[in-house]
Amino acid sequence: MNSSSSPSSLPRLVLASTSVYRRQLLERLGLPFKTSSPQVDETRLPFESPERLAQRLAFAKARDISLSQPDALVIGSDQAASIGMEVFGKPGTIENAVAQLQRMSGQEVLFHTAVALIDGRNGREQCETALTRVRFRPLSEPEIRRYLEREPALDCAGSAKCEGLGIALLDSLSGDDPTALIGLPLIALARMLRAVGVELP
């Protein structure tokens, strides 16, 4: 345990996600937690900004699990990648991933990663969004297909895993939280957990 609080004194912590990436990130904080899969419609609303989309879905996931997990601290998170108002979700198929990376080739893509925390003990809700600017280098179709053969990032918004081989597709990236691009902004989350009484470290 990295926290000075004992496990019995901590409120139950639940991650509203079955994403292996988010689970691995949350494990860094050294807190005991469970995961649960939220049932949320992730369809973008008309004219909804990428940032607002990520925030709404982060809250929706946390609220869905909070209904069945009374007295728990529930974490929800979501990410939207965008060029202007054009939003890129999880590609799902290789051909969709190829099309996404072709669109992003040579472009600056903004990754909006929202994290929400609901305290079931009192209904308090918090949400923060971390912005990461990613510049993709010019990519040829053979480069894109070779990448996806080795690392099919079909469950990642933007079709590339910066924590893996996908870093080779980039010219640069910048942001306030290096964990945000992977899917869970730990700096913001730690701040939110401290605000509800969880001692970190």
Q: Which domains does the chain have, with CATH numbers?
A: 7-195 (3.90.950.10)
Residue range 35-47, pLDDT digits in tens? 999 999 999 999 9
Give the mean pLDDT of the chain.
93
Residue range 150-187, pLDDT digits in tens? 999 999 999 999 999 999 999 999 999 999 999 999 99
Q: How far apart are alpha carbons 71 and 91 in whole angstroms? A: 36
Q: How far apart are alpha carbons 77 and 60 in whole angstroms? A: 9
pTM: 0.91
pLDDT at 9: 65
**Active-site residue numbers?**
78
Q: What is the CA radius of gyration of the chain?
A: 17
Answer yes or no: is pLDDT of 7 > 80: no
Burial (Cβ within 10 Å: 0-12, 13-18, ≥19) of residue 46:
exposed
Q: How far apart are alpha carbons 6 and 178 in whole angstroms? A: 28
Burial (Cβ within 10 Å: 0-12, 13-18, ≥19) of residue 138:
exposed
pLDDT at 111: 97
pLDDT at 70: 85
Q: How far apart are alpha carbons 80 and 42 in whole angstroms? A: 11
Model confidence at 49, pLDDT cuts 50, 70, 90, reads: very high
